[in-house]
């Protein structure tokens, strides 16, 4: 029977808290491979295993310090996680914006007047942001890991999280690309993503989003537009994209057709208009049909 005082014992109140302690000990050099089967156990057994492990590895003096340190670390991590509440797993637009923003502004200095601390986004573990990450959910997980698995102090992480939230709230109140593109139109999503990648000024920004399906292409395009800094540039780009998409659709409908200019009398034009109205077709289609019919008659 193990005998612990309350100050020397871990009492996880949830599965997530217990798993946090398990991970904490597993990355400790003294705790290699001990918790491989840990996650299958019920909460009471998890607590028993954690405390048994601690009792076997640490002296009485070390044990008290270790337990206190673990609880403090967990509470700090919990506070940090709360700072990411806005980065919901179902908010694909926010996730992809944050993914791009952090990578494009990794050297940005951030200052908190309240805490009087200056920090930078590159204090996060940017190695977690694998550029080949191709889904929104995977990007969110990478973002959270980059925030948690870092040497930045708790106060610095809170500053970065709040700065990101402030920037995102500003973006959210502005008109976005979703007013132009239809997320279910695969051709339009692919076109919009390609268009926005072409106007990015650096190769790095063009490689921000690797997309594996239409849904990811849609949110990647939305994010690239959201990441444009100047509001006036956004308005101009949106206007140009509307015109460019109209032209793209027109060219697609032509299917290799070429424009020609012909002259005709007013009487002939009037007759042509009546044929068009009667057949409920376009002038170009009517002329093409009449020429094809005549050609078939000659042959």
Query: What does the alpha-carbon distance between residue 15 and residue 42 come to, in Å, rounded to a whole number?
Result: 8
Flag whether pLDDT at 229 surpasses 80.
Answer: yes
Backbone angles phi, psi at 4, to 5 degrees: -120, 145
Position 201 scores a pLDDT of: 57
Burial class (CB in 10 A: 0-12, 13-18, 19+), 177: buried
Kindly tell me the burial class for residue 255, based on how many C-beta atoms sit within 10 Å of its own C-beta (0-12, 13-18, 19 or more): exposed
CA distance 15 to 17: 5
The one-character DSSP state at 2 is -
- Nearest in space to 100 (alpha carbons), one of 129, 75, 128, 68: 129
pLDDT digits (tens, 9 = 90+) for 168-179: 999 988 888 988
pTM over 0.75: no
Assess whether pLDDT exceeds 60 at residue 210: yes
pLDDT of residue 271 exceeding 80: yes
203 touches 197 (CB < 8 A): no
- Residue 98, pLDDT score: 92
Tokens standing for residue 197: 């990648």
Q: Hey, which residues does 111 pair with through a beta bridge? A: 118
23-46 residue pLDDT tens = 777 644 444 455 556 777 888 988
> What residues have CB less than 8 Å from 163, skipping those under 6 apart?
110
Mind listing the pLDDT tens digit for each residue in 2-17?
444 555 788 888 877 8
Give the C-alpha distances (Å, rounded to integers) separating 99 from 49, 51, 91, 135, 200.
Answer: 38, 38, 13, 11, 16
Residue 97: partners with Cβ closer than 8 Å, 6 or more residues away: 168, 171, 223, 226, 227
pLDDT of residue 238: 92
* Number of Cβ atoms within 10 Å of the Cβ of 168: 19
pLDDT of residue 203: 58
Q: Which residues contact 212 (CB under 8 A, 6 or more apart)?
A: 134, 135
Those residues whose C-beta lies under 8 Å from the C-beta of residue 147, and which sit 6 or more positions away, are 80, 84, 124, 125, 157, 160, 161
**What pLDDT score does 257 carry?**
67
Three-state SS letters, 100-162: HHHHHCCCCEEEECCCCEEEEHHHCCHHHCCCCCCCHHHHHHHHHHHHHCCCCCHHHHHHHHH
Q: How many residues in total does the chain contain?
A: 299
Segments making up each domain of the chain, as ranges: 6-81, 87-172, 177-211+218-253, 267-298
Segment 199-208, tens digit of pLDDT: 875 555 667 8
Instruction: Tell me the backbone φ, ψ of residue 233, rounded to 5 degrees.
Output: -65, -40
291, exposed or middle or buried, with CB in 10 Å at 0-12, 13-18, 19+?
Answer: exposed
Q: Which helix (H) or strand (E) holds 128?
A: none
């Amino acid at each position: 029977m193990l005998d612990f005082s309350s100050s020397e014992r871990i009492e996880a109140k949830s599965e997530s808290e217990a798993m946090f302690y398990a991970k904490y000990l597993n990355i400790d050099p003294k705790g290699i491979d001990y918790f491989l089967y840990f996650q299958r156990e019920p909460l009471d057994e998890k607590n028993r295993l954690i405390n048994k492990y601690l009792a076997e590895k640490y002296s009485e003096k070390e044990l008290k310090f270790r337990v206190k340190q673990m609880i403090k670390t967990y509470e700090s991590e919990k506070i940090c996680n709360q700072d990411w509440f806005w980065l919901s797993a179902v908010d694909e637009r926010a996730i992809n914006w944050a993914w791009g923003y952090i990578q494009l502004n990794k050297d940005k200095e951030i200052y908190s007047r309240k805490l009087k601390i200056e920090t930078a986004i590159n204090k996060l573990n940017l190695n977690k942001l694998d550029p080949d990450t191709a889904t929104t959910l995977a990007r969110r997980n990478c973002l959270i890991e980059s925030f948690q698995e870092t040497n930045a102090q708790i106060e610095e992480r809170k500053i970065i999280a709040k700065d990101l939230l402030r920037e995102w709230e500003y973006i959210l109140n502005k008109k976005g690309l979703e007013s132009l593109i239809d997320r279910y139109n695969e051709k339009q999503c692919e076109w919009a993503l390609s268009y926005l990648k072409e106007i990015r000024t650096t190769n790095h920004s063009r490689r921000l989003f690797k997309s594996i399906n239409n849904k990811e292409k849609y949110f990647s395009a939305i994010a690239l537009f959201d990441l444009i800094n100047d509001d006036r540039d956004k308005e101009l780009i949106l206007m140009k994209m509307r015109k460019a998409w109209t032209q793209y659709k027109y060219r697609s409908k032509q299917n290799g057709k070429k424009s020609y200019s012909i002259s005709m009398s007013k009487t002939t034009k009037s007759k042509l208009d009546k044929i068009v109205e009667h057949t409920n077709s376009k002038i170009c289609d009517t002329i093409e049909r009449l020429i094809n019919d005549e050609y078939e008659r000659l042959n």
